[in-house]
Copies of this chain bind each other. A is one copy, B any other.
Amino acid sequence: MPADARKRARHRLSIARGHLESIVKMLEKEDVYCVDVLRQIKAVQGALSGASDVVLRGHLEAHVATAAERGDTVEIVEELMEALRYRS
């Protein structure tokens, strides 16, 4: 993975982990309200999608765009299509 993408993805995922930590704490309180938790989980899912986009862009640029030069287009595309299935 390109170094820049690796660094940025790690940064985003570290923030998402902290956010997830706070939701786990929220759920320790008996009076926590369901919809507040739904919103917070959705925010973490959005952060994960953002990190996923960083990784995907790095992969497209570094590995997919160079596939024809290497001669492994079919394998690289098959691998990516499988990873993108049910992408949220």
Q: Which residues of A are in contact with B by a Cβ distance under 8 Å? A: 1, 3, 5-6, 9-10, 13-14, 16-17, 20-21, 23-24, 27-28, 30, 32-35, 37-39, 41-42, 44-46, 48-49, 51-53, 55-69, 73-74, 76-77, 79-81, 83-88
Contact = CB atoms under 8 A, between A and B. Distances in A.
Main secondary structure of the interface of A (DSSP, over half): helix
Nearest to A5: B34
A27 B14 CA distance: 11
User: Can you tell how many copies of this chain the complex includes?
Assistant: 4
A14 to B, nearest CB: 6
A38 B83 contact: yes
Contacts of A88: 42, 45, 49, 88
